[in-house]
Amino acid sequence: MAVTSIWSVRGWLGKVMAYVENPEKTEQEACQGLSDVIAYAINEEKTRNENAGSGRMSLDDENAGIMEQYVSGVNCSPATARMEMTAVKQRYGKNEGIMAFHGYQSFAPGECTPAMAHEIGVRLAEELWGSRFQVLVATHLDKTHHLHNHFVVNSVSFADGKRYHRSNQDYREMRSISDRLCKEYGLSVIRDSGKKAEPYAAWKAGREGKPTYFGMVKADVDEAIRKARTEKQFFHYLKEKGYSFKFGKDVTVRAEGRERGLKLARNFGEEYTMDAIRKRILEPATEGTAPCVPAVEKKVRVIHVRGDFQRAKKLGGLRGLYLHYCYLLGILPKNRPPVSAGQVHMLLREDLTRLDRIARETRLLCHYQIETAEQLISLKKNLQEKMEQLYDTRKHLRYRMRGVEDPVKHLEAKTEVSELTTQIRGLRKEVMLCDGIAARSGVIEEKVKAVRQDMRKEKESEGYEYVRRSR
């Protein structure tokens, strides 16, 4: 089983090579140049072969685990890959923009030897790019014993000087050829589950325990399946939660306030086709048991917001609006029991994925006691003026540092520059929060009004009567 991917790399060609040579350094500095990538690929710690002097290992050598990497060049030599790639760019006058493409091919632990993984990687590079591009191929064995290949592909062709343009078809072709080669070597291949790949932002948020729009829709659909005893009830429960529907080969559900819907089977897998949903609804009723739903571990996230919630009832303006919105989202007051996504109004659920940002904006409003848009504009202006002053101070300090020869004084000046940079960074974040409040506050106000109207209608349907009294 091999997982493949490829992405573009900008910057200086030499930096991409360095990235591949020293992963620990580049993980900290997030370098994007060509030297970095190539250097990462040929990192001595990851490429060392204790039996290098005895020649290449056999493909089935069980002792090959000692070896941490092979390096090969396709249309170039590993030792001079950067210079050769740079020479091609200079020949055709294409030294800017995307410097290279960094590809990746990972194998399941224990399925193959390093020598086999490297041979597969070289064959893959030859078939994909060998006719027109220079490629550096390196095989790594990481700390968790995952064998994986790195490909550094020159962005300019040595054959005609044309640039390599990565497309979705390139992804598919890379995976197809990789799967075919894996089968030739007796390795497993990932089966297509029919499920659409989860967006990276959603996957990352899920790993961090944050709510996601995909996750909330899936949870609502699962809950509707669990509660329903008929197909009609299933759609009734979803409609109560604020969803609308569209039927075709796949069922599309669209949450209130969203422009586009989600196809259930396409995004969540074969268990969410209409036939599978009917089966999940009817089987428990036939067996007389409750639906079998996988247990989900609840993760509680606590966000601290400064401010007195009791006083928020008397507050108006932006500060009161944000504090009330935090209450509707379930993060205020501090001692309030955790609120699940299902308990939050449909119009507000999307903002559950932005809790950190909204909390920071709320803290800013409370800290500076901002009530009106005019005060917000004035605050932003003051913050920008402070930033300009710090920029000038830092600029002059850096200029004076050039003539300082005393190491102690130079270090003191450098420390002061670092402190100024930290202050500038903090002010810049606050300016961005001001921009976010200016853009978000109007939307929040409309959402709060809509929620209040829905709550009023719900109360009236339950027999409550609202009476307006004038003083």
Whether 186 and 60 have beta carbons less than 8 Å apart is answered as: no
Of 104-108, 351-355, 428-432, the range with the lowest mean pLDDT is: 351-355
In a domain, 317, yes or no: yes
How confident is the model at residue 206, as a pLDDT? 59
Please check whether residues 351 and 435 belong to one and the same domain. Answer: yes
- Mean pLDDT value of segment 22-31: 38
For residue range 105-126, what is the model confidence (pLDDT) as tens digits? 888 877 788 888 899 999 999 9
In a domain, 292, yes or no: no
Please check whether residues 243 and 388 belong to one and the same domain. Answer: no
Q: CA–CA separation, 322 vs 312, rounded Å?
A: 9
In a domain, 304, yes or no: no
Q: Residue 386 to residues 414, 416, 424, 426: CA-CA distances in angstroms? A: 20, 16, 8, 11
| Residue 239 φ then ψ, to 5° | -65, -35
For residue range 326-337, what is the model confidence (pLDDT) as tens digits? 888 887 887 777
The domain boundary, picked from 256, 287, 318, lies at 287
Range of the domain at 402: 309-455
Whether 145 and 64 have beta carbons less than 8 Å apart is answered as: no
- Mean pLDDT value of segment 194-212: 58
In the chain, how many domains are there? 3
DSSP H helical ranges for 249-402: 264-268, 274-287, 309-312, 317-329, 346-349, 355-368, 373-401
Quote the percentage of the chain above a pLDDT of 70: 70
More confident residue, 454 or 263: 263
Global confidence as pTM: 0.42
In a domain, 46, yes or no: yes
More confident residue, 347 or 46: 347
Please check whether residues 173 and 104 belong to one and the same domain. Answer: yes
Please check whether residues 165 and 48 belong to one and the same domain. Answer: yes
Please check whether residues 260 and 328 belong to one and the same domain. Answer: no
> Which amino acid makes up residue 13?
L
Please check whether residues 223 and 138 belong to one and the same domain. Answer: no
Would you call 207 helix, strand, or coil by DSSP? helix
- Mean pLDDT value of segment 155-174: 89
Question: Among 14-28, 132-146, 268-282, which range has the highest average pLDDT?
Answer: 268-282
The domain boundary, picked from 225, 254, 287, lies at 287
Residues contacting 4, CB < 8 A, separation 6+: 103, 104, 105, 106, 171, 174, 175, 178
In a domain, 221, yes or no: yes
Please check whether residues 8 and 91 belong to one and the same domain. Answer: yes
| Domain containing residue 109: CATH number | 3.30.930
